[in-house]
A and B are shown apart, each in its own frame.
Chain A
């Protein structure tokens, strides 16, 4: 079955960097667009970033553009999120998610990991 396993979260000081990873298995990774969605403690969902199936197109929420960078390695079937200049309000559980289909415009996510927690605090 589809598995998405995030790692790399932790406690970091404001202004520092962190790199999240998502290891995938159980499906052909290459044809799917992938995204990161986060959820601050006790809060709702927030879409963070997305990347096309081949990595040529990336998309970001206004709140993270210029500080976070999404990337993928299709040979390793993995997704990454480089997080720079972290702020206190980046504190959240970060989910790796898969787009729901490989053909046509797709803005829904049918598979979610369990998340990795990032805490930004001095």
Chain B
């Protein structure tokens, strides 16, 4: 069982917006601004799309936005496109016995 909880799947039509939530605890998401998000296409390595809660790396579209409230982080994809399909993972620093925890992943489908 993952330390961070994500919905198993989210879907939307092209052009729509979708939001993926990531729920943790005060020891991880709630306690730090170290939430990151990754997008993984099938058979490919994950790619960083958000770091430190809401920051986008260079080259990442502004269609990706993120935020945090309490123990829950959220990733919103606006103007959904076919290439946005794949798995999305949230991650956070944690003060438990490990250092970094990931969510279980959310499969995004563009209808």
Contacts and interface: CB of A to CB of B under 8 A. Distances in A.
Interface-centre pick from A45, A62, A113 (highest chain B CB count, 10 A):
A45
Contact of B100 (A50, A110, A114, A115): A50
Contact of B105 (A45, A105, A114): A45
Contacts of A105: 34, 93
Contacts of A47: 91, 98-102
**What is the interface of chain A mostly: helix, strand, loop, or mixed?**
strand
A108 to B, nearest CB: 4
A54 interface: no
Contact of A100 (B46, B51, B99): B51
B48 A107 contact: no
A45 B34 contact: no
A26 interface: no
Interface string B34-51: 101010000001111001
Contacts of B48: 100, 108-110
B21 interface: no
A46 interface: yes
Nearest to A60: B98
A39 B51 CA distance: 20
A100 B93 CA distance: 14
Contacts of A53: none
Interface string A95-118: 100001000010111101111000
Given A110-B57, A112-B45, A45 B102 contact: yes
B64 to A, nearest CB: 14
